[in-house]
Amino acid sequence: MKHLSDEELYAMCQIPKGGLASHLRECEECSARFHEFAALLESAAREAARTPPPAPDLSGRVWAAIHPSLPVYGAETRGRRRSAVFTAWWPRRRAWAGAFATLALIAAAFWAGRLFEQRQTKTNLASQGASQPGRVVLLVVREHLDRSERLLVELDHAGHLGRMERGPLVQEAADLLEDNRLYRQTAMATQDPALSEVLDRLDRVLVEVAHEPATFQGGDLARLREQMNLDGLLFELRVVRDRHNKNEKETRL
Amino acid sequence: MESTDRECVEAILSGDRDAYRDLVFRYTGSVFRAARRITGNDADAEEVVQDTFLRGYLQIRTFELRADFGTWIYRIGVNCSIDLLRKRKRQPEAKDDVLPQAVDSAASPERLLLSVELEWKRRSAMARLTEVEAAAFSLRHMEDRPMDEIADLLAISLGAAKQAVFRAVQKLRREMAPLRVKQ
């Protein structure tokens, strides 16, 4: 026989259910537990019914005890209460409204900024593209020129010492080579002969370093420096880069 | 003419603190009964009543005039009762439990004794409940408050209130079970 749970028995004490009542008649164990619950609740109900009323003078005693401690709320309090009632109701709305307004302001500022930036960039690029064809290319290849310069400096430095760490330089040259070709073609298309020429010379050096690393070890490196005129290329590259930086500054102003 | 609760509160806020006297006299009974059932003795209940009305006055600026003052002060009373139970648990007093009075004068002496013992046992078991369990049990089975109101008064969820009542019932039943067998 499946016994009733304590929850069911407790519920039965409050709202008797027919089905469960028949089980209680048949099951002594459940019946005993049921009577424990019932006895407890009866005991509580008895005490509740017997709760004495407060002493007749209790209100008076309480009032006498607390009266001296009670502050007097005046006109100031009325004003404060009105504002307290108002602020009790209003602050949440006001806080939310404030939060939404702030968010809306930030969002509006963000979008306005983006819009302005987009328009400004378009205007700048359009004007630069019209007046200085190579300017657009320079904007894109600035980092490429910096990286190339670092590579040439390392090569130059290694040439003076007669030895070099090949691995990183070869890898860097290979990476630069692809970009360099792309930028050179773009420079030619945008009719920037100075940049185009520098990138062309740089291309030859990069090919040499990336694909024939064995040829520029020891004495070969000195030969490469002379053949390729690395010092001259480095100088030209810096000139082009400086011109780019100058143009950029002028554009900003 | 007797002022309404709302008029009393408005008068208090306008500077007439004596207007609070009406409210004290009007609601001492209900606060006392709840406190008496939760704390289990008159002295504690009287202390709760005093604390409740003092706290009520000091918080009266937060009372919303649309609300029912009786319910509001009753809630404060329940909270004060719970606070007092907590205080009592932190500072246990060597207090002699007063045996409850028997009610059924027609019952046999043995049965009467058992009944008194049963109630005494339940009271001492009540002291071992948590404050929330004791309050929840008293509110449900002595004050006869509905569960949703108990949850509201104790500022807990309905499920938590039901659990608190049932836990209290289980603990009390286990404490009283040996006596029940004798009966």
pLDDT, one tens digit per residue, over A137-190 is: 556 667 788 888 888 787 777 655 555 566 777 778 888 887 888 788 777 777
**Residue B100, min C-alpha distance to chain A (Å):** 9
| Residue A141: φ, ψ to 5° | -95, 5
Task: Give contacts of B122 with chain A, Cβ < 8 Å.
Answer: 40, 43-44, 47
Q: DSSP assignment of B115-139, as one string?
A: HHHHHHHHHHHHTTS-HHHHHHHHH
A75 touches chain B (CB under 8 A): yes
How do residues B150-173 score in pLDDT, each as one tens digit?
A: 999 998 999 999 999 999 999 998
Domain with CATH 1.10.10.10 in chain B: 102-183
B162 touches chain A (CB under 8 A): no
Say how far apart CA B76 and CA B61 lie, in whole Å.
14
pLDDT at B140 over 80: yes
Say how far apart CA A225 and CA B121 lie, in whole Å.
105
More confident residue, A204 or B71: B71
A189 touches chain B (CB under 8 A): no
Domain with CATH 1.10.1740.10 in chain B: 1-95
Q: Which residue in B132, B126, B169 sits closest to B154, CA to CA? A: B132
A94-101: average pLDDT: 74
What are the Cα distances from residue A37, in Å, to A9, B104, B110? 7, 20, 21
Residue of B nearest to A47 (CA): B142
CATH architecture of B102-183: Orthogonal Bundle (1.10)
Q: Do B143 and A48 touch (CB under 8 A)?
A: yes
Task: Give contacts of A66 with chain B, Cβ < 8 Å.
Answer: 24, 50, 53-54, 57
Is A75 inside a domain boundary? no
If 0-12 CB within 10 Å is exposed, 13-18 middle and 19+ buried, where does residue B29 land? middle
Containing structural domain, residue A11: 6-50
Say how far apart CA B13 and CA A70 lie, in whole Å.
12
Q: How many CB atoms lie within 10 A of CB A24?
A: 19
Task: Give the mutation candidate from A69, A70, A85, A87 for the B interface (greatest B CB count, under 10 A).
Answer: A70
Residue of A nearest to B63 (CA): A85
Give the pLDDT of residue A220: 66
Say how far apart CA B89 and CA B39 lie, in whole Å.
12
B141-149: average pLDDT: 92
**Residue A14, min C-alpha distance to chain B (Å):** 10
A38 touches chain B (CB under 8 A): no
Closest CB to A51: pick one of B13, B17, B37.
Answer: B37
Residue of A nearest to B36 (CA): A51
**Residue A72, min C-alpha distance to chain B (Å):** 5
Q: Do B49 and A45 touch (CB under 8 A)?
A: no
Q: How many CB atoms lie within 10 A of CB A228?
A: 19
Whether residue A132 sits in one domain with residue A29: no
Give the pLDDT of residue A130: 47
Lowest mean pLDDT among A1-10, A77-86, B53-62: A77-86
Q: Which residue in B151, B119, B152 sits closest to B40, CA to CA? A: B119
A74-78: average pLDDT: 59
Task: Give contacts of B134 with chain A, Cβ < 8 Å.
Answer: none
A83-98: average pLDDT: 60
What are the Cα distances from residue A218, in Å, to A176, A221, B147? 24, 6, 93
Give the pLDDT of residue B94: 47
- Asked if B119 and A47 count as a contact pair (C-beta separation under 8 A), the reply is yes
Give the pLDDT of residue A162: 53
**Residue A19, min C-alpha distance to chain B (Å):** 22
Whether residue A149 sits in one domain with residue A33: no
Whether residue A149 sits in one domain with residue A243: yes
A56 touches chain B (CB under 8 A): no
Give the pLDDT of residue A243: 78
More confident residue, A147 or A220: A147
Is A28 inside a domain boundary? yes
What are the Cα distances from residue B166, in Å, to A17, A85, B86, B112, B162? 19, 39, 20, 28, 6
B78-92: average pLDDT: 84
B62 touches chain A (CB under 8 A): yes
Say how far apart CA B10 and CA A249 lie, in whole Å.
72
Q: How many domains does chain A contain in total?
A: 2
Q: Any idea what the Cα angle at residue B48 is, between residues B44 and B53, rounded to 5°?
A: 155
**Residue A111, min C-alpha distance to chain B (Å):** 43
Tokens of B131: 């404050």
**What's the CA dihedral at A69, A70, A76, A79 to 10 degrees?**
140
More confident residue, A225 or A219: A225
A115-134: average pLDDT: 60
Task: Give contacts of A59 with chain B, Cβ < 8 Å.
Answer: 24-25, 28
What SS3 state is found at A27? coil
Say how far apart CA A173 and CA A178 lie, in whole Å.
9
Is A235 inside a domain boundary? yes
Give the pLDDT of residue B180: 55
Q: Do B17 and A73 touch (CB under 8 A)?
A: yes
Is A106 inside a domain boundary? no
Q: Do A85 and B64 touch (CB under 8 A)?
A: yes
Say how far apart CA B103 and CA A49 lie, in whole Å.
10
Q: Do B50 and A70 touch (CB under 8 A)?
A: no
Tokens of A42: 């009866």
pLDDT at A100 over 80: no
B37 touches chain A (CB under 8 A): yes
Task: Give contacts of A7 with chain B, Cβ < 8 Å.
Answer: 166
Tokens of A90: 């209003």
pLDDT at A42 over 60: yes
Whether residue A143 sits in one domain with residue A41: no
Is A111 inside a domain boundary? no
Whether residue A131 sits in one domain with residue A45: no
Beta-carbon contacts of A28 under 8 Å, excluding residues fewer than 6 positions away, are: none
For the segment(s) B1-95, the CATH number from 1.10.1740.10, 3.30.230.20, 3.40.630.30, 3.40.50.300 is 1.10.1740.10
How high does pLDDT run on average in chain B?
A: 84
Residues 91-150 of B with CB under 8 A from A: 100-101, 103, 118-119, 122-123, 137-138, 141-144
DSSP-H helix ranges across chain A: 6-14, 18-26, 28-50, 58-66, 75-131, 133-161, 166-189, 193-211, 219-228, 230-252
- DSSP 3-state helix, strand, coil percentages of chain B (rounded to 5)? 75, 0, 25
Tokens of B87: 């205080």
Whether residue A133 sits in one domain with residue A38: no
